[in-house]
Amino acid sequence: MMDELRDYRFYAEDMVHPNQVAINYIWERFFETVISEESHSIVEEVGSIQKGLQHRPFNPDSEGHLKFKEKLREKIATLVSQYSFMKF
């Protein structure tokens, strides 16, 4: 943060803490340099599942939403079968 994001546009209103743009940038740099390339697809799959779990439908009883939930359960089951330590 101190080397690459010196400009105040990367700080929150208190001018001390990083704002969301800076947090996203730092996460991307961390992801690229620390997490192995083999793990990138796993991280993306977990992110996709997390977004799906946060989804709030307009009509929870619709056929489309029920299919969406079933597909999400299948994704979770596949990931948990490969990595038993993961909890959703």
Determine the Cα–Cα distance for residues 58 and 51; give it in Å rounded to an integer. 16
User: In the prediction, which pLDDT does 36 show?
Assistant: 92
DSSP for residue 84:
T
> Is 82 found in the same domain as 40?
yes
Residue numbers of the domain that contains 19 = 1-34
Say whether both 29 and 55 belong to one domain.
Answer: no
Tokens representing residue 84 in the block = 């038993």
* Whether 40 and 60 share a structural domain: yes
Tokens linked to 1:
């943060």
Predicted pLDDT of residue 3: 82
Tell me the helices (H) and strands (E) count for the chain, helix number first: 3, 0
Residues 50 and 78 reside in one and the same domain: yes
- Domain count of the fold of the chain: 2
41 and 28 part of one domain = no
pLDDT tens over the chain, length 88 residues: 778 888 889 999 999 999 999 999 999 999 999 999 889 999 999 999 999 999 999 999 999 999 999 999 999 999 999 999 999 8
Residue 52 and residue 16 share a domain: no
- Which tokens belong to 60? 């929870």
- What is the CA angle 20-5-32, rounded to 5? 75
